[in-house]
Each structure stands twice: as structure tokens, then as C-alpha cells.
Structure 1
Amino acid sequence: MLLRYISPLLILFAIAASTALAQWGYSERAIPMRDGKYLAADLYSIDTTVAKPVILIQTPYNKEFYRLAIQIPGYAGGATFPTDTLHYNYVIVDWRGRFASQDAADPQAKRGEDGYDAVEWIAEQPWCNGAVGTWGASALGQAQYETAREQPPHLVCCVPLVKDYKSKYDDFYYGGAFRYEHVEALKTLGFYTDQTVENLIFANPSYNNTWKFVEATTDYPDEFAVPMLIIGGWFDHFPDGILRAFHDIREESAPAVRDKHKLIYGPWIHGGVNAETAGILTYPNAKGVAHEAALRFFDFYLRGVENAWESEPILRYYQLGENQWRSTDNFYELPTTEFSLYLGPNGVLSATPEAVEGSESYQYDPQDPSPSIGASRFTPFNPVTPIGPQDQAPVEARDDVLIYSSDVLEQDLVVQGSISVELYISSDRLDTDFAIRLCDVFPDGQSIIMTDGIKRARFRESLEQEQLLTPGEVTRVSIELQNLAITFKQGHRLRIIVSSSDYPRFNTNPNNGGTLYQPGDTLVATNAIHYGPQYPSRVILPKDASVNIGSPGEVSGDFMIQSIYPNPSRGAFSVSFSTSTLQGISFHLHDLMGRVVLEQSYDSFSPGEHTLEFTSALAPGVYVLEGAQAGTHNAVQRRMVLVTP
């Protein structure tokens, strides 16, 4: 089936920007496997008489994408990969049973063993110096994990992007609701058949022993023995999975490499890692970051270049809204405090619980579901599908949603971590869904989705056990959203859209309370959201505890660093900040040892916004810029500054 789609894609993308591979020559290679079969591969090199480190890419999506030097579709790894023709050779191999490796098909073969054989064969070739690294996104990332698990002696390091190594229930269900669009895309790509969906996925709609077995047999971070640079995106399919995977690898991989793994988490969609745009938003300081980091990582481990890679942060993440890079050792241990916004009448979200009981209702018709627009969608064969941050105006215009918004924020609201929405609901049906879209409302009125989630009501108590609703009875439903690092800026609003569908991202609930994924009648449901002292429906936010912002509407300080640009830089950057009073301000730039490497102090700034230029011959690495009002320790602002070679 996949071949039927690839041909028109080749034509579609042939007119797009070419990759650096267009300047190289390629030569075909046949890589022998342990069972006597061969995998088809292409070697890219500017001089095969020179032994260099080799970067191996294992693809299920046709190595000829690279041979033709066309724009690589997002699902196949993105437009480019980190290329350095002077210092590296590249081998791109078709997976067993795919495209030019079709003749090697064997359902019993293990992809990790194929990767092992490929690495060791490459290491023996005269154009390889014995050092092999791997790179690739999504399925290409999965192949790296499986290869690393086999521990080939000449594998030095790996760069998996937007992929968790573990197979799990959440890959197919979110809050008990089937990930319809995602699984349909995987079927089209040839990873699953209708029989697999019927006999495995639909047959196990709850988190049961089948899923626990699948998870246990694919959970192997203790078998990784090489450094990894893992790259993810906030608008990817499974941001929580990649954060967890990195944490587990840091905790459980071979002791010799546990402190060598790093994670970069950017403002990227699944097929747009390294890009400066996601959806309708632009993030200029995210462009090129992933590839630049990957090359530095490869240079350090494959070539032994002293480039201060080890001093880079363990985890770099992009703070949306603020649009700046931050760093931490452990995302799960960021200092946060629980902060709630309570639902109230007339679409209110308030830091104060509603004093009077009330409810609002809407009708949900499975035959006319609320449409999915943006967020973590996956439609690889429909390039016009809106993905990532998108305006939700078409959703909000429907009569099957309830909209709750905060007041205009008088200062930034900094959120870092897992967000949840706790609703007290009732329905006139035995089962239904409750879906949440979390939006950042800009001053111009655009309501931009940042993340979403859903909960099937029969799984409200547990994903392991179904419990149907009692019509008319109020009960609590908790909808967990994905982890996120976002600053809702001063002048913006925070908003949630409540509905009972988000299709085709998730399949529709027929509302009949019958056996899931079996033919049956669909019913219109009248669903209600309750609020007040007895039913405190709320949005629960992990607020950055290091930023004393109080509640929306409270102002805790009158000095704030707004942005640093460019960041990363080569030592020259500008700092934009604001102050509401006449005051002196000082800036100190510290290295990671706490030493002051640059300082500037000013006696007086008038109220308003200001920009200062900083120029210094700084060594490549990570620095912390600290700005403070003169004579106070309460208004200190800290931002990370990255300096590249």
C-alpha cells in the first residue's frame, strides 16, 4: 500500500529545496545479514579513499528520497539531516522487507540485529575509521534504539528524534479514547494492518495484562551502553513519552554513560524538528538548533573534537510564549507549585472558586463531531492538514462546545509540567467523552491551541476498569494533558475549550454505553459541566515556583527581562527588558561554575522598555544572565545564554 502513495509524493516534493546530498556521489552497497540475506544501502562520500566516521540512517521509507536529493517528507525524517561532508561518510539503508531490501523480507528477523550487522559491516570497510553513529526521526529513531540494545562493538553514539523506545497502551489510546487518525496513518505507512487493529488494539480497549506485557517486553533502557542525544518537540505526538524515556535512560542505562545522555526539547511538530515555524507561530531561535547540536555531539564522540559538548545542559527545553531556551537537569524536578483556575458562569476562569453552584450544558452528536484543528495531529499524506499551534475560531464558533477564559493577564503566567483539567460532569447517556483544548489567547483575539486531551467517561476511575455513567448523576472526570513549558504572556488570556469530541484525532464515542468498537446506534448526548463549592471544576497548572507571579492580575515586580536575541549567539547578543519605575539595573553573566565573565551596571533607567547590546569573546558553552534592580534582591531575573563556536 505504501508504494501507491510514495510515487506521487516523489513528484510533489521533487520541486522543493534539495538537501546537501545533492552535491555528493552515492554508490550502492549490499550489506550482508547473519541469515545470508542482504540489505540495500547507499554510501554517500566525497572521497571513499579516506577513512572517516560513518553516520548510519536506517529507514523504512525508501532511501531513494535521499538519492534524489528531494525534500524529505516529515514522516521520513524531515527535510535534511545534519550533514558534514568533509568529516563524515553516510550510509542510508532500507529496512528489511522495504523498497530495495524487499527481497530480504523475513517476519522473524529482528531489526536490532539487522542494525548490529550493518554497524559491524560498515566498521570493516576501508572508508570507515571504525567509529559509527546513528541518526533518525520517528521510525528511524526506533531502529536506533533497537540497534543500541544489541550493543554492536563499533556503535559509538545515537541521535534518535521524536521517538520513545517503548511500546505502550498510550500509543493507541488517550484517556481510553482510540487515537483514530494516528493509527490510520500508521496503517497507511504499512506498520499495521486492519487485522492488527481489530485483533490487538480494538480487542484490548482498557489497560489490561496484554498492554502490560507489551510494555514490559519493550522496556529496555538498562541495555543501552552508548551516549544518546534525544530530541523532541512540544507539538509532537507523544511529548510525555519522550520525556519519560530520557529520564529512564538517564537512570537505568549502563553506568558508564548515564551522565552522557542529553535531551533537547524544542517548539517542533513531528515532521518539523529543526524548523523555525510550527503551525501558525514562528520561533526564529529554534531554527537549526537540533542539527547544530547533533553535529557537535557527533564531533565530540566520533571525532574527539574538544568542543565543550560535555558542559552543555543535560536538558534544554524551549519555553513557549517566552520563546527562549531554558535548561535543567531533570524536567520532573523543576520547582513548581500547583495553581488552579476555577470554572464559573459566563465562561469565566478565575483563581477564586465560584461561590454559587451552577452548570452549563451542550449537546454532542457523534454524527457531527467537533473537528480537530492543529495540535499533535499526524496526517503524513495530507500536507495541508493544520498541525501544531492553530487558531481555534472554527471550533469555538460551534454550539457543541463550552469556552472558559481567564481575565487578561496583567503579568506573565509561567507553566512547566503536566497540566490537568478536573471537571464535574453529568450526562443523560451511559457513556460519552470529554475533550479539552488548551489555548493561548493573543491580544488580537486569536485562540491558539497549545495542547489537548480527552477522557472516555467509562474510564474516569481507571483505565483498567470500565464503569458506565449513571444518567443525570454528577461525577468527577480528570483529563490529563501533555507536559508543556509555556509562558502565557502579559496581555494574553488562558482558555480551555470543553467538548465531547476531537475528530479525527480521536474516534467518536457513540454515547450508547455498549461494547466499544462494535457496530451500534449512535445517540445524541446532553452533557453538562458543573461548578461551585460542591463541584469545583478547575484547570490545574504547574506554575513555575521560581517566578513569583501570584495569581493572574497580581503584579509582583516591576523589572523583567523580556528576551535575549539571538540566542544561541557567538558572543554578541541584545537583551530587551522593561521596568515600571526609575531605577538602576545591573547585569551579570555567569558561567556554569558561577564565575562572573561579564558585567554591566547602569545608574538609572526610565520606566518603559529598553534594549542593551552585549559583546564579548566568550568561549562556546552555557551561561546564565542575571539582571537585578539596584539595591534589591527581590526582582532578580535569570535567563540562559548559549554561545556557539
Structure 2
Amino acid sequence: MVGVGMMRRLGVTALGLRNGPHKVTVERDLEVPAGDGVTLLADRYAPVPGDADVGDAPTVLVRSPYGRRGPFGLMCGQAFASHGFQAVVQSVRGGFGSGGVFEALDEREDGLATIEWLKRQPWFGGTFAMHGPSYLGYVQWAVAAEAGPELKALSMQVTASTFRDAVNVGGTFALESALIWVDMTARMKNSLSGITTGFTSPRRARRAALSGRPLAELDRIATGGQQRFFQDLLVNGPDTPFWDKRDFSPTVSQVTAPVNMTGGWYDIFLPWQLKDYAALRAAGQDPYLTIGPWFHADQHMMRGSVGEAVDWFRAHLLDDPSGLRPNPVRLYVTGVGEWREFPHWPVPGMREERWHLRPDGDLSPDEPPESEPDRYRYDPEHPTPFLGGPTLLGETHPSTDQRRLERRRDVLTFTSAELPEDMEIIGPVTADLHVRSNREHTDFVVRLCDVTPDGESLNLCEGMRRLVPGTPEADADGVRAVAVELWPAGHRFRAGHRIRVQVASGAYPRVARNPGTGAPIGTATEMLVAEQEIFHAPGRPSTINLPVVPVGAGTTDGADEIREAREAPEPGEPDESGESRRDRHAE
């Protein structure tokens, strides 16, 4: 008969992770007192006595809203303990046996209470680290500046110190991700819930979004009941006190423990993760950063990040840096399928090139001639759809053929001539538009695409901006200069390909449609058509600003020898099933 320990080791292998040499013992349902008397439950994984010096083994602390058993227990408990660490995996307040009521993003007090409890335990070896993706990374930022000198390392994936701007992207509302997340958390009842809801939540969220009902009713349609957190998000914009106690970005510069970050080009939190990276660099820290061709919950990223965390913890808790790569920054360049390494981000040698939107749908570094603006009509009753881009769970590959979207009358496209030679961009992407609308309340969406010789238009990155009266100010003719921050990118445009920029006023249901009235987004029912103009003239240029680097910049020394678990197919390449993800999406 196969023992429980062997079953756990087999489970780790089944998840694509690498077991360490140590046998592991588990202590279940440890009671952790919170400051208000609520009891939180945790499981402790440790190398078996005699197999390692458990008394001196550093601890990896993981705090999760998704349960402490099942896949999370294997990835965050069994895997680390088999490599010689202790691991404490805790269920946060209100879930999986922990007392109290779950208060989303309110994690500072419970996190600090857990750390104080940890330090009092007889098995605590004097140092600890923290690990985890998404919410499990956010809880690290909630306590990292106050955790004390015993905190020696942080390992976080696809997360940020604040979700304020990720929920309110450019002032819009990230509808689909918010609906998916509240559906997932509402349905999590056991350790396997995350797997099942991961398949079904996106469909329920999209079905609710396409119902045509006001936003305040969509959580009930998706989950079967009203969800307090979703309702809070609808009435609390980015500048409200609701976010102040949930925003830990002001404390990032105070964190002294070494930080290892993993992100994805198609992750919903990437721009703000890079702001955290910049804050650490400005404070004199030297964080490690990996960005791959991944979306938020991409299992290729999840599997690879555990192995990198083991190396990171060995370096900073066991004084064994042998597993660390030479350069702190590793980036995957799409379009060529190469990993590159750099000393920092933004990468050395980057220069910004301004490509101008021009008459007749042209895109060029050349300034535009005098010309009339391009026009389109945006109807929120029939909002411009979202076909691919940064996503939470990724039902399809996030880089998909955009031609169906580009045939719509409410989407403008500007396309370059065929490139005579390869061109690479690695870094922040922005756009500057000159626009006019008959609505003071309206949105603009900008998307960068790579057009292949056969005409396929693959989205690389995008950004959006919600306009309100007076922000930005209009000139005497009603024209407003609008800056749009797109997602960063790392991509090679091949010779013979073309660069394309889309301009639209919706990306539904990724972000909520703008009704054009200024009414509260949760209850708005009146929808007004917006007549939009995009200017491209010498006095009113509209541009996409690209971070161009020398082709092949960085080093690939050792970077191509990435474990299979850290790689993901390029768009259009076959996945494990042998099917093209792009083809399956088209079906």
C-alpha cells in the first residue's frame, strides 16, 4: 500500500514540481490567534526528525484564501519541506476552517499576528521567508515592511502591493476579472474548489456580463447571491478611503528583505508589479525579476516559480547562492521565443520611438501631414468586445487573431508598411492621442498588434483611459490630449511583418462599458452614443511610443536551458494536446 507521504510526493510530481531529498511530516490545524481573538488555522510541513536538523530549518510562510490543502498544500508545503525548509500554510480569515468573516484585501493585522505567533513556536529556527502568487503575494506586501529582521526573503508571482489601479484600469472598471474572482471565492468550500471554479467561473462571469443588466446585479447573476466585495468595488473608485488601508505601495521602499518577482506579459497586475520593482530599485535594493509569456493563472508560470523560489530561499536563508542566475532580470521575448537576461529593468540600450497615427490608416515614424481626423461611433448598447489580452484565468491564449475585431466600424486601425528588417521592443509602451468626443464621459482603448505576412493580427499589449469632465482639459476646439499607459512588452517584429495600432472605446467585458452619462457605474441604465474623433496633424499628433532595443539585446547565456515547466507555447504553436491554441480559439 502506498503511504500518505509517498502520495504527497507523487502529488508534487503530478503538478510538474521537483521533489527534494527529504521525507516530510505534516502537523494539521495549528491554531493561530488573531488580534481580535479569532482563530486562524494552519498546517505545518517539515522534514522528518533525523532527516534534517528541523530545529534550525528556516520557515516558509504562505497565507492563502484558497485553502491550505490540495494543490496549494502540495505546492507550498510539501514541495518546500522536501527541500529542507519548514512550511506553514495558513487559511486566511473566514475560509477553510479559519474563524471570522473573509474581508478581501484586509490582511495586515492578521498577517502580523501570524508572524508574531510563528516567532514564538519552539520549532521556529530564527528566520523565515514568504511565498505565493496573486493574493498570496499581496499578503506579503501587507506585512513585509513591519515583519522584523527575521524575514529574510520574499518570493511573489503575478501580484502587486496594491490592487487599486488594477481594478480601476486607467479609470475604467475591470469587470470580468472582478466577477471571476468573487465567483471563485464565493464557491470555494473545499481544497479542490479552486480547480473546479477555475474552469467554470469565467463562463459564469461572461454570461452575467452579457445579460445586459446593470453592473450591481451581475454578482447575483454569476454567483447566485450578492457579494459584498463586488458591491464595494462598484461604489469605491480609486481615490476613495476604501483603498487606503488596502494599498501597501507606500511601504514598498521600506522593505529590506530580498525580493524575487515573477510576472507575465499577459498578467492583469504586470504594470503595478513593475512599479513595485522600480520602488525597490530606487530604495537601493536589487530585486530579481522574471517575466514570461504567461497570463495570471498560467500553470507553466506556477510550476516554474516554485523551483525558482527554492533557489531564492536557499540563497538568502541557507547562504547557498549556487542556484541564482548571473543577471537579476530574465525576460521572454515573444515573436522569437527567446529568454534574455539583463542587469535591470528598464533594460540597457532602450530608446523610445514615436510612431505616428496618420491619414488613411497609416502608421509611421514620419510626422503626419495636415489632415482631417478619423471618426467612429461608439454605442455602449453594443460595446466593442474584448478578444484577447491580459486575463485572470485565460480560457484561450491571451494573444489571439484580432481581424474579426478590426472589421468593426467602432475600431480604427493604423498599420505600418512591411518592416525591412527585424525590430525589437522591450519595455514600457505608451500612447499619446489627440481626441474629441461629443461626450465628456467616454473611454479610449489603444492596442498594439503584430501583423504577420498572411494578415493575422496578434495583440501584444493594450491600455485604456476613462475621460471625465475636465480631465484632461479640452482646448478651445474641444480637443483633449490623452496619455494612455499600455502594458509593457517584450517582442520581436520580424522582417516582413507590420506594426498595427487599434483605437476603440471599449473592451467589453474586460472593462465595464462607459454609458456616457457620468452616472454611477453600478446602477447606470441610460446609454448614450459617443461620436469620437482621432486627430493626426502636425499640431495635434497621435502616437504610439515604442521601447526599441538593439535586436538580440541582452544575453541568452544559460537562459535557453529553462526547465520545460517554465516555458509556454508561442501563440499558434501546438500545446501539449498537439492542437494550436490559436486554431482552437478560432473554432
Q: Please say whether Structure 1 and Structure 2 have the same fold, judged by a TM-score greater than 0.5.
A: yes
Q: Secondary structure at the match of 1:268?
A: strand
CA distance in 1 between counterparts of 2:243 and 2:96 reads: 33
Distance 1:219 1:40, change over 3 A: same
Tell me whether 1:479 sits opposite 2:484 in the alignment. yes
**What corresponds to 1:567 in structure 2?**
559
* Cα displacement string for residues 566-600 of structure 1 (whole angstroms, at most 9, x for unaligned residues): 73439xxxxxxxxxxxxxxxxxxxxxxxxxxxxxx
CA distance in 2 between counterparts of 1:320 and 1:352 reads: 26
| Superposed displacement of residue 333, structure 1 | 6.7
Distance 1:530 1:100, change over 3 A: same
Give matches, 1:42-61, under 5 Å: 42-45=43-46, 47-48=48-49, 50=52, 51=54, 52-61=57-66
Q: Secondary structure at the match of 2:82?
A: coil
Distance 1:354 1:106, change over 3 A: closer
- Contiguous gaps of at least 5 residues in structure 1: 1-13, 253-257, 276-286, 550-559, 571-645
Tell me whether 1:498 sits opposite 2:503 in the alignment. yes
Q: Pick from 409, 427, 433 the counterpart of residue 399 of structure 1.
A: 409
Tell me whether 1:242 sits opposite 2:286 in the alignment. no
Q: CA RMSD in A?
A: 3.8
| Superposed displacement of residue 158, structure 1 | 1.5
Q: Secondary structure at the match of 1:140?
A: helix
* Cα displacement string for residues 323-378 of structure 1 (whole angstroms, at most 9, x for unaligned residues): 33334444247433331222223321122223241333222211111211221122
CA distance in 2 between counterparts of 1:447 and 1:186 reads: 30
Give matches, 1:163-312, under 5 Å: 163-168=159-164, 170-190=165-185, 201-203=233-235, 205=237, 208=239, 210=241, 213=244, 219-252=250-283, 258-259=284-285, 261-272=287-298, 274-275=300-301, 290-307=305-322, 309=324, 312=326
Distance 1:395 1:352, change over 3 A: same
CA distance in 1 between counterparts of 2:389 and 2:436 reads: 27
**What corresponds to 1:521 in structure 2?**
526
Give matches, 1:534-553, under 5 Å: 534-544=539-549, 547=550
| Superposed displacement of residue 141, structure 1 | 0.6
Give matches, 1:128-143, under 5 Å: 129-143=125-139
Distance 1:476 1:301, change over 3 A: closer
Give matches, 1:556-635, under 5 Å: 567-569=559-561
Q: Is the 8 A contact 2:341 2:554 kept in 1?
A: no
**What corresponds to 1:100 in structure 2?**
97
| Superposed displacement of residue 92, structure 1 | 1.5
Distance 1:562 1:220, change over 3 A: closer
Distance 1:259 1:426, change over 3 A: closer
Query: What percent of counterpart residues are identical?
Result: 25
| Matching residue's letter, 2:183 | T
Distance 1:367 1:539, change over 3 A: same
**What corresponds to 1:91 in structure 2?**
88
Distance 1:81 1:314, change over 3 A: farther
Q: Is the 8 A contact 1:235 1:267 kept in 2?
A: yes
Higher strand content, 1 or 2:
1
Q: Is the 8 A contact 2:421 2:494 kept in 1?
A: yes
Q: Is the 8 A contact 1:54 1:90 kept in 2?
A: yes
| Matching residue's letter, 1:392 | Q
**What corresponds to 2:328 in structure 1?**
314
Q: Secondary structure at the match of 1:490?
A: coil
Distance 1:47 1:217, change over 3 A: closer
| Superposed displacement of residue 21, structure 1 | 9.9
Distance 1:120 1:196, change over 3 A: closer
**What corresponds to 2:358 in structure 1?**
344
CA distance in 1 between counterparts of 2:328 and 2:557 reads: 22
How many residue pairs get matched? 505
Q: Is the 8 A contact 1:377 1:387 kept in 2?
A: no
Give the TM-score of the pair, scaled to structure 2.
0.75
**What corresponds to 1:435 in structure 2?**
445
- Contiguous gaps of at least 5 residues in structure 2: 1-10, 187-218, 220-225, 563-587
Q: Is the 8 A contact 2:161 2:248 kept in 1?
A: no
Q: Is the 8 A contact 1:56 1:132 kept in 2?
A: yes
Q: Secondary structure at the match of 2:484?
A: strand
| Superposed displacement of residue 62, structure 1 | 1.3
Distance 1:228 1:387, change over 3 A: same
Structure of greater Rg: 1
Q: Secondary structure at the match of 2:468?
A: helix
**What corresponds to 2:141 in structure 1?**
145
| Superposed displacement of residue 473, structure 1 | 4.3
| Matching residue's letter, 1:146 | A
Give matches, 1:372-383, under 5 Å: 372-378=386-392, 380=393
| Matching residue's letter, 1:165 | S
CA distance in 1 between counterparts of 2:83 and 2:257 reads: 24
Higher helix content, 1 or 2:
2
Give the TM-score of the pair, scaled to structure 1.
0.69
